[in-house]
Structure 1
Amino acid sequence: ASINHLALDPEYTMSMEDVVTASQEAGQVIQPGGHLCEVALWAKWKHVGSARAVLESSIVLVSVKGFAECVRRDPAVDAMASVYAKTFVQLLNDSNVVAEEEQ
C-alpha cells in the first residue's frame, strides 16, 4: 500500500496483509516492489527478527524524519498521509500481530 495508491484509487481498502509483511512469518518472500517495514513510518516500532536476501537485491532506506518533513511541505499530501496513518495504526492496533510477537 502506498500513499499514491490511496490517492489514485478511492475504492482502495487496506487489510492487515498490507500492514504486516516479512516479519510475521519465517521464510516469507518480499516480492518486487514490496516493502519490509512500512510500519516504522506510521507508528513507534521496534524491529524484531531479521531479514536476508537470497538473491541479488536492492534496498531503499527512507529516513522517518525526512519522510515526515517532506510530507508536511504539501498540505494536501499531509492531510492524505494523516488519514492513511490513522487507518494504518488502527488496523495495527486491532490486529493480533503484536500480541503474537510478544508471546
Structure 2
Amino acid sequence: EEHVVGERSVIVEHELFLPWTRSHHMLFVMSGHLYYRAARGASVSGRNSARGSINYLFQSNGVSPVRKINSANERTKNNKPPRDDQTISSDGSSVGASLGLFGDHNVCASRVLEVAPDSWLCEAALWLDWHHVGIAAAKTDCELITLEGKKFQEVMHKEMPEAQAYAKLFARYAQEREVLFND
C-alpha cells in the first residue's frame, strides 16, 4: 500500500517526469539539485485547460522569484539576457550551461531552471488532475520527499474543512489565470 508521504532517492541524470505524463506526487527537494524545463507548447492557461498550474516554483520561504521561463525579454540578475544553454537559479541568476539531460523530449529553447533543496515541484498534483508540462531530471544525486496527491486529497476531505476550501480556491485561481502555467 502506498503512503501519503514517501522518500525517493534519485541518481544523477535520472528523469523524474516527462511532458504529458500524469502527475501523482508533489515533490520536495531535500538534497541535491534538479533541472526543470518546459516542453514545447506545453505551458497552458488554467482558464483553457484542466492541466493548468501555478506559474512559480515554490520555496519554503514563500514564492520563488523564478517566473515564466519562456518570456522573450527575460533577464538575469545583472540585466543581461541569458543564453539558451544557460540555466537560471531560483534567485534569477545564471548558473551555467545545461548538461543536455533532456534528450529528444521536445523541450523548448527556453532556459533550464535549477531546482535546489527546500524547493518543490508539482503542487498542482495535490489539487488538480495534473499532467506535467515539462521535464525534470537530476543534476546531482538527490533525496526527495513525495506527497501522493490522491491520498492527500482523501485525508484532507475527511479531516480538514480548511483544506477543502483551499482546494476550491486553488482550482478557481487556476481556471481564472490568463498567464501561462508550468510544473
For normalisation by structure 1, the TM-score amounts to: 0.59
Bigger share in strand: 2
RMSD (Å) for aligned C-alpha atoms: 2.5
Structure 1 pair 72/87, CA: closer, same or farther in 2 (3 Å)?
A: closer
What is the number of equivalent residue pairs in this alignment? 78
Residue of 138, 158, 176 corresponding to 1:53: 138
Structure 1 pair 21/30, CA: closer, same or farther in 2 (3 Å)?
A: farther
1:97 counterpart residue number: 180
**Structure 2, unpaired ranges of 5+:** 1-52, 58-67, 70-110
The reply to whether residue 28 of structure 1 matches residue 116 of structure 2 is no
1:82 counterpart residue number: 164
Following superposition, the deviation at residue 33 of structure 1 comes to 2.2
**Structure 1, unpaired ranges of 5+:** 1-17
Bigger share in helix: 1
Moved over 3 A (4+): none
Contact 1:42 1:89 in 2 (8 A): yes
- CA–CA distance in 2 between the matches of 1:39 and 1:48? 12
Following superposition, the deviation at residue 51 of structure 1 comes to 0.5
- CA–CA distance in 2 between the matches of 1:50 and 1:69? 27
Q: Kindly, what percent of the aligned residue pairs are identical?
A: 27
Deviations 1:43-101 (A, max 9, x none): 12211221012123222232222112222332xx2x11112112212222222215xx7
Structure 1 pair 67/47, CA: closer, same or farther in 2 (3 Å)?
A: same
For normalisation by structure 2, the TM-score amounts to: 0.36
Structure 1 pair 85/34, CA: closer, same or farther in 2 (3 Å)?
A: same
- The one-letter amino acid paired with 2:158 is R
Structure 1 pair 20/31, CA: closer, same or farther in 2 (3 Å)?
A: farther
Greater RCO structure (CA 8 Å; 6+ sep)? 2
